[in-house]
């Protein structure tokens, strides 16, 4: 398999750092990119294995809604996963085309590890 590249989409600095640390623990060797604009994302889309999207986007994406962002992704985009502590938002993201995500409060849990590995076809 080619190198696993994961984009952290629309997360603030502290959240991005915490997510990066937890994801690296579950997927050693993955390359993580912190992206806070659609311009940054577009140029890398074909290299990415997974988009880890914040519920409320920090940056310039044409929307503040992570769910709306996910629903606007083009067919053939890498899988997207919402990060939210609100179960209803996670369900809405799946209805919009995402794979099931998890909450920030659970970022170091077996649930988060399972969700990440499933989205990356590692489980």
Residue 1 has pLDDT above 80, yes or no: no
Altogether, the residues listed in the chain come to a count of 123
Region 78-104 average pLDDT: 97
pLDDT digits (tens, 9 = 90+) for 21-57: 999 999 999 999 999 999 999 989 999 999 999 999 9
pLDDT computed for residue 43 by the predictor: 87
pLDDT computed for residue 22 by the predictor: 97
pLDDT computed for residue 123 by the predictor: 63
Strands, DSSP E only, in 3-49?
5-9, 31-35
User: Which CATH architecture is the domain 5-119 placed in?
Assistant: 3-Layer(aba) Sandwich (3.40)
Give every CB contact of residue 69 below 8 A, 6+ residues apart in sequence: 9, 10, 53, 57, 61, 63, 80
pLDDT digits (tens, 9 = 90+) for 54-86: 999 999 999 999 999 999 998 889 999 999 999
């Amino acid at each position: 398999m080619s190198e696993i590249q994961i984009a952290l989409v629309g997360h603030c600095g502290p959240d991005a750092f915490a997510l990066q640390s937890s994801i690296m623990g579950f997927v050693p060797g993955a390359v993580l990119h912190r992206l806070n604009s659609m311009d940054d994302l577009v140029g890398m889309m074909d290299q990415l294995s997974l988009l880890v999207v914040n519920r409320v986007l920090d940056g310039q994406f044409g929307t503040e809604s992570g769910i709306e962002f996910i629903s606007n992704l083009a067919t053939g985009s890498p899988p997207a996963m919402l990060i939210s502590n609100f179960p209803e938002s996670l369900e809405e993201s799946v209805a919009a085309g995402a794979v099931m995500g998890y909450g920030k409060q659970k970022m170091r849990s077996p649930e988060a590890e399972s969700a990440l590995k499933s989205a990356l076809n590692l489980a």
